[in-house]
């Protein structure tokens, strides 16, 4: 059977690839242009991760608008997701705190760095100092007079808020402490904030004529008006761009910006420009947040419980393998081999995509194992029927396959339809459990169809070519 | 073996499970767990003594009336425990209980209320998505069975069998949750989705056989063909179910306590899924073919009651 042997080659290639990816210390692929490591991503429920507690960085006496807090929560969630941490948990705690949990992370400091980029962007008036002074301030922390709307000082707290750009230099003592963050702030002049990133509607990375990267932004009507007024009256002066009180760029105003569109130039690399764009996009927090604690946490499902479950799962799997071999004899053993291939390929895909595995995800996987077993059972029952009807083994195998195919196709297609809708739903409404489940189930169903139809069949024909059926009919349970 | 003949007996058995379940659902409702409605978060440090296993803490919480708590290790000597809302007095009582039963001293680092990690609206929207999925399946089955007459009936019957399984799982959950103080968490939602997937999958395999046999045995009455198809696929249905149930059973018996609820829900659902595909979905086709509802409320002479 040349067809059988021809199929063996792609099967072998796919299997070798899968094994390469599945290796516990897979070296990954690092050839020109491709830089991929393969690791299994496990969710918080299975491996734990880093839990960080964020708190609104405003005085305890200030009441915080709940809707601002929920916007901040959304933004933090977006930022964590945009940084490629999937299945993270962002959860409000009390009225002024947010719990963030990053799965699979082991270094609290690293996670902290991710979250801490609170991305409060300010455009500040630097007309009060010379260009040389401004240059020395780049990448240093400064004070600004911006205060979140929610933390307007209460009546008994005196405050002096500069109202015009001209009065923007205030001795650091005159601004109240309520409007500065607890981030260590350099002593020095306090600059006036012309506007914040909240007025930015759109951000993108572009290349300029010199081939460098710039971050382009668009402003809403209100922001555009402020920007127009300010830039018109400050041509030739410096407009500092400050992120979380750190000066990141000091462009000078060449011409008045009247259309509400501008670019930030700063000798960025592609990565830096993208990172800045990301921060601008998701970083316009309505309330400043600070990280209170950050530490590694164990799995929500409990380490001890998971160890037991893993063992139980292994026992269960072995029982299934044994059952298939005992009930279906030789074909059962072949199916077990096909199931092994199935598991290897599916696991490789999880690592390749990558899919963050959580318990719902594993549930989807286990269900798809059931589907894979089912496809084999369907085929073998059909082969048995054909054998009982007196057909030769080879005929029986081909007929069995052809007859079992419509039921495998239709049942799996309807499962895939369900997966597709659930995935869309999970993706749209941020229901990550539903998304994880449908994704792993869909991958599993597709791979199971491949292994049942291609791998089992090829293996079975291979065995047939090398043994004499009439002498070993009992091996087939006939 | 004549399964179709005794169809009303099997429908009756289904109703025997579903009706009490639905009553329980209406009377007691489904208690929601912390991931849907939020609760208390207790962050403790163990000053002296070994940190207990999370499952021991879960068990201790359950003894004190807080089932389905989520216990996470934190750092090297701490635990973070999420549970339903508790008062300061209850918290003190629990901390004291932990100190005495584990022989440790505890400092409370944090105690505060936390919001839901999975919005409650997610569950409602999931229902909408399942409805949409049902519609998709209905359309697909109607298309896949276009070769036989009244193809849409197969789709509708498969959906009815799926709803049957959802009703069984939710009903059983409502009863069990009431007596064993279980709460419905996001894992329950996952289990329900799994059951839905399994149910339709299982039903279609039987329907496929009916489709095939209708072309082979053109002269036989519909009822006979349906019954024959069920019997032919019986071994496969039972074998597939066995393999899935075996895995789940080992998980339920030997697996960790934190996923037991989830596994038991799946067990109920998978059993119901196979039951409905054998005893409900296909017999419904026969009921539909014979338009038996016309005789349901009349004299009993022609009605085959099991």
Interface of A with B in 323-382 (CB under 8 A): 323-324, 327, 359-360, 363-364, 366-367, 369-371, 373-374, 377-378, 381
Sign of the Cα torsion B83, B86, B88, B92 reads negative
CA distance B202 to chain A (A): 7
pLDDT band at B157 (very low <50, low <70, confident <90, very high): very high
CB contact under 8 A, A414 and B191: no
Looking at residue A311, what is its pLDDT? 83
Bond before A354 cis per omega within 30 degrees: yes
The answer to whether A298 faces chain B, any CB pair under 8 Å, is yes
CB contact under 8 A, B125 and A425: yes
CA–CA gap between residue B270 and residue A416 (Å, rounded): 18
CA–CA gap between residue A360 and residue A351 (Å, rounded): 17
pLDDT at B283 over 90: yes
The dotted CATH code for A41-106 is 3.30.70.3400
Domain with CATH 3.30.1360.200 in chain A: 121-295
Digitized pLDDT (tens) for each residue of chain A, 478 residues in all: 466 778 888 889 999 989 888 888 777 777 666 666 777 778 777 888 888 888 887 777 777 777 777 777 777 776 676 555 566 777 777 778 888 888 877 777 766 666 655 567 788 888 778 777 887 887 777 888 776 544 333 333 333 333 333 333 333 333 332 333 334 444 567 888 888 777 777 788 888 777 778 888 888 888 888 888 888 888 878 888 887 677 877 777 777 777 888 777 767 777 777 767 766 665 656 677 777 777 788 887 777 777 887 788 788 888 888 988 898 888 889 889 988 999 899 989 988 887 878 877 877 787 788 788 888 888 888 888 888 888 888 888 888 888 888 988 998 998 899 888 888 877 776 666 777 788 888 999 999 888 888 888 888 888 877 776 666 666 766 5
Domain residue ranges of chain B, discontinuous segments joined by +:
7-32+119-296, 39-114
B50: phi then psi, degrees, rounded to nearest 5:
-75, 145
CB contact under 8 A, A367 and B198: yes
CA distance A308 to chain B (A): 5
Looking at residue B212, what is its pLDDT? 92
Looking at residue A187, what is its pLDDT? 57
CA–CA gap between residue A283 and residue A248 (Å, rounded): 15
Range B76-105 average pLDDT:
87
CATH architecture for residues B39-114: 2-Layer Sandwich (3.30)
Q: Which residue of A has its CA nearest to B83?
A: A300
pLDDT at B62 over 80: yes
Range B163-169 average pLDDT:
95
Domain with CATH 1.20.1640.10 in chain A: 2-38+300-476
SS (H, E, C) B39-108: EEEEEEEEEECCCCCHHHHHHHHHHCCCCCCEEEEECCCEEEEEECCCCHHHHHHHHHHHHHHHCCEEEE
| Tokens standing for residue B101 | 């039963």
CA–CA gap between residue A474 and residue A416 (Å, rounded): 37
Range B90-100 average pLDDT:
89
CB contact under 8 A, A309 and B112: no
The domain covering A2-38+300-476 belongs, at the CATH homologous superfamily level, to Multidrug efflux transporter AcrB transmembrane domain (1.20.1640.10)
Choose from B117, B206, B233 for mutation: most chain A CBs within 10 A: B117
What percent of chain A is helix, strand and coil (3-state, nearest 5)?
55, 20, 30
The dotted CATH code for A121-295 is 3.30.1360.200
Give the single-character DSSP code of B32: B
Q: Mean pLDDT, chain B, as a whole number?
A: 87
DSSP H or E segment with residue A328: helix A303-352
Looking at residue A118, what is its pLDDT? 54
CA–CA gap between residue B214 and residue B217 (Å, rounded): 6
CB contact under 8 A, B255 and A327: no
Residue-wise pLDDT tens digits, B224-265: 999 999 999 998 888 888 888 888 888 888 877 778 888 899
CA–CA gap between residue A136 and residue A139 (Å, rounded): 8
Tell which phi-psi region holds residue A20, choosing left (phi > 0), alpha (psi between -120 and 50) or beta: alpha
Looking at residue A174, what is its pLDDT? 32
Candidates 2.30.40.10, 1.20.1640.10, 1.10.565.10, 1.10.10.60; correct CATH number of B7-32+119-296?
A: 1.20.1640.10
The interface pTM score, or ipTM, of the predicted complex is 0.80
How many Cα neighbours within 13 Å face the side chain of B221?
A: 8
Contact B111, B81 (CB under 8 A): no
CB contact under 8 A, B240 and A377: yes
CA–CA gap between residue A193 and residue A121 (Å, rounded): 10
Looking at residue A378, what is its pLDDT? 86
Give the SS3 label for residue A141.
strand
Residue-wise pLDDT tens digits, B101-132: 888 888 888 888 877 777 666 767 778 888 88
Looking at residue A345, what is its pLDDT? 93
Looking at residue B87, what is its pLDDT? 86
Give the range among A86-90, B197-201, B272-276 with minimum mean pLDDT. Answer: A86-90
């Amino acid at each position: 059977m040349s067809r059988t042997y021809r199929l063996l080659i792609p099967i072998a290639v796919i299997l070798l690839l899968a094994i390469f990816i599945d290796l516990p210390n897979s070296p990954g692929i690092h050839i020109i242009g491709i830089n991929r490591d393969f690791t299994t991503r496990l969710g918080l429920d299975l491996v734990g991760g880093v839990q960080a507690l964020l708190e609104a960085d405003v005085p305890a006496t200030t009441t915080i608008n709940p809707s601002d807090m929920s916007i901040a929560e959304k933004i933090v969630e977006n930022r964590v997701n945009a940084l490629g941490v999937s299945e993270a948990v962002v959860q409000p705690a009390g009225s002024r705190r947010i719990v963030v949990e990053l799965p699979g992370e082991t270094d609290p400091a690293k996670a902290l760095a991710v979250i801490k980029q609170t991305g409060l962007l300010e455009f500040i008036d630097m007309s009060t100092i010379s260009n040389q002074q401004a240059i020395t301030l780049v990448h240093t922390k400064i004070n600004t007079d911006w205060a979140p709307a929610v933390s307007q000082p209460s009546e008994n707290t005196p405050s002096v808020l500069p109202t015009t750009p001209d009065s923007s230099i205030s001795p650091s003592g005159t601004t109240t402490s309520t409007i500065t963050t607890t981030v260590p702030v350099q002593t020095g002049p306090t600059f006036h904030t012309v506007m914040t990133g909240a007025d930015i509607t759109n951000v993108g990375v572009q290349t300029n004529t010199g081939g460098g990267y710039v971050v382009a932004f668009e402003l809403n009507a209100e922001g555009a008006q402020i920007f127009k007024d300010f830039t018109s009256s400050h041509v030739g002066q410096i407009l500092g761009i400050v992120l979380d009180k750190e000066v990141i760029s000091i462009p000078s105003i060449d011409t008045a910006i009247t259309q509400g569109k501008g670019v930030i130039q700063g000798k960025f690399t592609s990565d830096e420009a993208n990172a800045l764009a990301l921060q601008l996009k998701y970083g316009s927090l309505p309330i400043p947040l600070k990280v209170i604690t950050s530490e590694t946490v164990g799995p929500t499902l409990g380490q001890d419980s998971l160890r037991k479950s893993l063992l139980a799962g292994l026992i269960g799997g072995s029982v299934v393998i044994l059952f298939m071999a005992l009930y279906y004899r030789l074909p059962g053993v072949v199916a077990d081999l096909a199931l092994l291939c199935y598991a290897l390929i599916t696991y490789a895909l999880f690592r390749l995509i990558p899919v963050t595995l959580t318990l719902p995800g594993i549930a989807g996987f286990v269900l798809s194992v059931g589907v894979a077993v089912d496809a084999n059972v369907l085929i073998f029952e059909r082969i048995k029927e054909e054998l009982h009807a007196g057909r030769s083994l080879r005929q029986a195998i081909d007929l069995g396959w052809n007859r079992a195919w419509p039921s495998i196709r239709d049942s799996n297609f309807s499962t895939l339809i369900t997966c597709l809708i659930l995935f869309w739903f999970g993706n749209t409404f941020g229901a990550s459990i539903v998304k994880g489940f449908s994704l792993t189930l869909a991958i599993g169903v597709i791979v199971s169809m491949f292994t049942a139809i291609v791998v089992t069949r090829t293996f079975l024909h291979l065995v047939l070519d090398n043994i004499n059926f009439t002498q070993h009919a009992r091996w087939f349970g006939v | 073996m004549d399964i179709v003949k005794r169809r009303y007996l099997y429908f009756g058995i289904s109703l025997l499970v579903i009706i009490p379940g639905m009553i329980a659902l209406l009377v007691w409702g489904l208690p929601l767990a912390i991931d849907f409605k939020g609760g208390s978060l207790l962050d403790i440090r163990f000053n002296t003594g070994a940190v207990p296993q999370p499952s021991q803490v879960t068990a201790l919480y359950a003894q004190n009336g807080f089932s389905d708590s989520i216990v996470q290790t934190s750092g090297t000597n701490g635990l973070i425990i999420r549970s339903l809302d508790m008062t300061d007095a209850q918290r003190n009582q629990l901390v004291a209980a932990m100190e005495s039963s584990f022989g440790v001293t505890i400092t409370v680092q944090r105690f505060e209320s936390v919001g839901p990690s999975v919005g409650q609206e997610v569950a409602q929207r999931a229902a909408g998505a399942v409805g949409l999925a049902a519609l998709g399946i209905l359309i697909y089955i109607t298309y896949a069975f276009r070769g036989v007459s009244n193809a849409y009936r197969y789709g509708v019957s498969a959906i009815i069998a799926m709803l049957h399984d959802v009703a069984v799982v939710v009903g059983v959950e409502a009863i069990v949750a009431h007596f064993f103080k279980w709460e419905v968490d996001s894992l329950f939602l996952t289990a329900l989705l799994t059951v839905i997937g399994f149910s339709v999958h299982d039903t279609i395999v039987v329907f496929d056989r009916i489709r095939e046999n209708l072309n082979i045995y053109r002269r036989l009455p519909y009822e006979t063909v349906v019954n024959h198809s069920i019997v032919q696929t019986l071994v496969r249905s039972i074998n597939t179910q066995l393999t899935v149930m075996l895995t789940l059973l080992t998980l339920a018996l030997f697996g960790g306590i934190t996923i037991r609820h989830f596994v038991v829900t799946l067990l109920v659902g998978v059993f119901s899924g196979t039951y409905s595909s054998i005893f409900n979905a296909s017999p419904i086709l026969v009921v539909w073919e014979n338009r038996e509802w016309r005789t349901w409320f009349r004299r009993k002479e022609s009605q085959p009651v099991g």
